[in-house]
Amino acid sequence: MNGKIQNLIRDITGKGAVSTDASVKGAIACEVEKTAFSQAARILKEAGFRLMAEWASDETFFGRGYAVYAAYNDGSDYLVIKSALPPGEPSFPTLTRHFQGAYRLERQIDSLFGLTPAGHPDLRPWIKHEDWPAEAYPLRKSFAASTAMPRVEREYKWAKASGEGVFEIPVGPVHAGIIEPGHFRFQAVGEDIINLETRLGYVHKGIEKRFESLSWDEAARLSGRVSGDSTVAHAVAFCMAAEEASGCVPTDRARYLRAVMIERERIANHLGDIGAICNDTAFAFLHYQFSILREKVLRTNLRIFGHRLMMDRVVLGGVSADITGEGVAAVLAELNEVSGEFERLVRIYEDSPSLEDRVFGTGVLTPEAANALGVVGFVARSSGQKLDARLQNPFPPYDRFVPRVPLLRSGDVHARAWVRIEEVRDSFRLVKEMLGELPGGPLASEWVRPLPEQSGFSVVEGWRGEIVYWVQCAPDRGINRCMVRDPSSMNWLALEQAVRGNIVPDFPLCNKSFNQSYSGHDL
Amino acid sequence: MTKDIYPILIESLQVVTVLVASPLLVGWIRVLKCWSQGRSSAGVFQPFRDISKLFIKETVLAENASWIFRATPYIVFGATVMAGAIIPVISVDLPLSATADIIALVALFAIARFFLALAGMDIGTAFGGMGSSREMMVSSLAEPAMLMSIFTVSLVNSSTSLSQMALVLTSNPIVLRPSLAFALLAFVLIALAENGRIPVDNPATHLELTMIHEAMILEYSGRHLALLEWANMMKLFLFAAIGIACFFPWGIALKDNIGMLPAAFILLAFKLALIGVFIVVAETVLAKMRIFRVPEFLGSAFLFATLGMLSYFILE
């Protein structure tokens, strides 16, 4: 712990001595009075920290009431502030005054836990739709997951715009393409968007609740299904949180293979995304060409790791799939072929003025807005925010093979496409270098369950951005609470800001350039 | 006796050609498109399968659909077939061609579009209304440019009847005329816009918010949709046919010359195939433009047409 953090903790707790909560592993944690919860946010905001996640936990089984947590980050410092809520007082001070990103996280806590963020400007339900009974709080321990819910007739209150020529366009939740469900409501004048309100939660599956009834091994498999396109990164994030809590250290070879799989997942998804962005401008040629490249990568995954998306290849303590010498050669051969082809396609992207005309200046997320909303991942990096968990919180081998993180400031569709292009290039390099120095040894170390009340915090840079997990061990050494924060939870709000002032027919293009996960957000 | 029946035969043959060849042209374009993207295609006959599938399917109507919504597919289909009867496709010897000139032809397409736009708004969904308003924006710019471009050809051939224009052009020796070159350029831009091709509209998209033509017909199903899809394919075919008749009519069967028909068919197929290649190349190298670029696009079409007309008076 450095001096800066010590001073901050003194400021936050108001005590002379630096006292931290040792039960939280993977980040520096300290507990404050409920009243100081938002005070801490103000102090940290002034110190340049950003809010990463905010969540609650039902700690009844430890003989306490509820607790709220907020995680902050600045550079490589990760700080978790915890406040216990006395039983009978289900409310806590809101952080929205200091961090806009807390807006939906707190609505979520309010909806699913029934803990009210006092002072929050908008307490409409979030994720839990109004046709649930208002008093049903699924994440409370007193709520049995098997409870059958009656359907209630109530309506969601949308933001309204009025004026001459203002009209509303409701889109979704079921869309024409093969994508996940989400409802978008535009207020528009002519073709100009004056406001967009998204409403999500249509794929709420109760994943966080489900974690609590699973064994650790099953939970690792579940984490790989939070957001299917990001299965490796989610599984690594969960396993790292669990390993932090238990003190289990994965083997070197496992860490390298995890990193290789994360990078291959990044390559495959970015390839698909760059093509999809082109497709939304009706430039179908690049779409199909990039799809072919993505398919090649996935087929190699199937051959080497036994699964196209590498699902369930990350397990507690290590990995379950090894790579042989032949496998390494096959991956390197594939990389050579794919990267050559990739460069050719990027040149076509650069040399097509009609395509550039669509992507430049469209859907701009300004660096100021990106900073205020606390966005993460490639969305942040294309709006001037230098955030990448591989640099800030590197797990081996990222400490040796340092990613070259691209940074753009224009924040438009092109920036989000170009950051992906640069990341694909860098991931090609990282995979090559890591495979070149792959250490030997066993695939996994022995997994031991954490001790009761121990919790682990982890941050992993998936292809979409920073994935945060916090997992807390129950008295019976099962899972008491597993908090999942997909990058989408922070970035969905940014989409609403980015499309404002654009024209309606450009929305699909903007949306594709963000390509956020519905499943990872709705949980 | 044969002399009397001959024009009627030609006319019937022409309508059948339009009905059958238009899905083939669309099928050919889709096949080329698949090839250009490295995909295997469903074959040139896929549009026939699509249409016959739609005819079998149930037609679902919105509860608040008025007679306009129900009548529009038939009006659009009827107007398009009518247009197909007056454009010389295989022979200039069309009895119906005398009943309507190029201005009436543009009006026929306008009737179809007028009802389509009304039908788009009839159901009251946001997408239909958006599609109609965009379609009107495009057509209000495309129609004058289209007339301007065709008038240039009329000036050259001293007629507004398409049959007559084609006839004059084929019977005179080939001369390179700058006025026709400008008119052709304008016509190509307009035809792309009128038929909802890239870069103006994307016929293959599923993104409702970006659609123009597709947004208007989003609520149609079953036989209604089949008729509209078919009419749309015919429209593409007919624009190709107008282009051929105005600019490349050589090879078309002349009056009272039934012996020229087989050669006319072969040449027509060849010209259409080339047009298909042109469309696919254009759609492969171009992205769809932002909707507010369309006025500039059609504005330049109008400019080319005007230049064509001016150069006729100045140079010819």
pLDDT in tens, A66-113: 999 999 999 889 999 999 888 788 899 999 999 999 999 999 999 998
Q: Do B37 and A282 touch (CB under 8 A)?
A: no
**Res B1 pLDDT > 60:** no
Beta strands in B202-245 (DSSP E): none
Facing residue for A505 by CB, picked from B283, B286, B291: B291
Mean pLDDT over B132-160 rounds to 91
Element (H, E) at A383: none
Instruction: Return the pLDDT at B75.
Output: 96
Please give the mean pLDDT across all residues of chain B: 90
CA closest to A288 among chain B residues = B37
- Burial grade of B119 (CB within 10 A; 0-12, 13-18, 19 or more): buried
User: Number of structural domains, chain A?
Assistant: 3
Q: How confident is the model at residue A167 (pLDDT cuts 50, 70, 90)?
A: confident
Mean pLDDT over B89-118 rounds to 88
Is residue A289 located within the same domain as residue A184? no
Strands A50-58 and A66-74: antiparallel
Is residue A362 located within the same domain as residue A418? yes
To probe the interface with A, which of B205, B207, B294 has the most A CB atoms within 10 Å?
B207
Is residue A98 located within the same domain as residue A190? no
For residue A431, is it within any domain? yes
User: Tokens for B4?
Assistant: 């009397």
Q: What angle do CA A179, A181, A185 make, to 5 degrees?
A: 115
Q: Could you report the per-residue pLDDT of B181-231, keeping only the tens digit for each? A: 999 999 999 999 999 898 988 888 888 888 888 889 999 999 999 999 999
For residue A119, is it within any domain? no
d(CA A14, CA B59): 72
Residue B208: C-alpha distances to residues A143, A172, A335 (Å): 41, 10, 37
> Percentage of chain A surpassing pLDDT 90?
60
Q: How confident is the model at residue A130 (pLDDT cuts 50, 70, 90)?
A: confident
Q: Do A284 and B37 touch (CB under 8 A)?
A: yes
Instruction: Return the pLDDT at B3.
Output: 65
Q: Do B287 and A171 touch (CB under 8 A)?
A: no
Number of H helices, E strands in chain A: 17, 15
Smallest CA–CA distance, residue B239 to chain A, in Å, is 22
Facing residue for A505 by CB, picked from B126, B204, B209: B209
Is residue A250 located within the same domain as residue A308? yes
Is residue A59 located within the same domain as residue A181? no
Is residue A403 located within the same domain as residue A275? yes
Mean pLDDT over B43-68 rounds to 93
Is residue A307 located within the same domain as residue A415? yes
User: Tokens for A169?
Assistant: 């366009």
Is residue A435 located within the same domain as residue A477? yes
Q: Do A176 and B206 touch (CB under 8 A)?
A: yes
For residue A29, is it within any domain? yes
- Burial grade of B92 (CB within 10 A; 0-12, 13-18, 19 or more): buried
- Which residues in chain B touch residue A168, judged by CB atoms under 8 angstroms apart? 126
Boundary residue ending a domain (A103, A118, A144) = A103
- Which residues in chain A touch residue B33, judged by CB atoms under 8 angstroms apart? 284
- Which residues in chain B touch residue A289, judged by CB atoms under 8 angstroms apart? 37-38
- Which residues in chain B touch residue A167, judged by CB atoms under 8 angstroms apart? 126
Q: How confident is the model at residue B2 (pLDDT cuts 50, 70, 90)?
A: low
Smallest CA–CA distance, residue A331 to chain B, in Å, is 24
* Selected residues 150-179 of chain A with any CB under 8 Å from a CB in chain B: 167-171, 175-177
**DSSP-derived 3-state class of residue B61:** coil
Q: How confident is the model at residue A134 (pLDDT cuts 50, 70, 90)?
A: confident
Q: Do B287 and A508 touch (CB under 8 A)?
A: no
Candidate from A137-146, A170-179, A415-424 with smallest mean pLDDT: A170-179
Q: Which residue has the higher pLDDT, B27 or B177?
A: B27
Q: Do A288 and B292 touch (CB under 8 A)?
A: no
Residues in chain B: 316
Is residue A42 located within the same domain as residue A185? no
Residue B119: C-alpha distances to residues A208, B137, B203, B275 (Å): 47, 16, 19, 31
For residue A209, is it within any domain? no
Q: Does B198 touch chain A (CB under 8 A)?
A: yes
d(CA A319, CA A438): 14
**Res A1 pLDDT > 80:** no
d(CA A478, CA A472): 9
Is residue A80 located within the same domain as residue A36? yes
Q: Could you report the per-residue pLDDT of A354-369, keeping only the tens digit for each? A: 999 999 999 999 999 9
> Percentage of chain B surpassing pLDDT 90?
57
Smallest CA–CA distance, residue B303 to chain A, in Å, is 21
Domain span holding position A178 = 166-199
Q: What is the dihedral of CA A336, A342, A344, A350, to 10 degrees?
A: -150
Mean pLDDT over B26-41 rounds to 92
Is residue A362 located within the same domain as residue A485? yes
For chain B, how big is the Rg over CA atoms in Å? 19
Per-residue DSSP letter, A263 = H
Beta strands in A66-206 (DSSP E): 66-74, 77-85, 91-93, 116-118, 166-171, 183-189, 192-199
**Res B95 pLDDT > 60:** yes
Is residue A184 located within the same domain as residue A236? no
Mean pLDDT over A40-63 rounds to 91
> Percentage of chain B surpassing pLDDT 70?
99
Q: How confident is the model at residue A412 (pLDDT cuts 50, 70, 90)?
A: very high
Mean pLDDT over A482-496 rounds to 93
Instruction: Return the pLDDT at A147.
Output: 81
Boundary residue ending a domain (A83, A103, A123) = A103
**Res A19 pLDDT > 80:** no
For residue A240, is it within any domain? yes
A183 DSSP β-pair partners: A199
Name residue A10's amino acid: R
Domain borders along chain B are 2-315
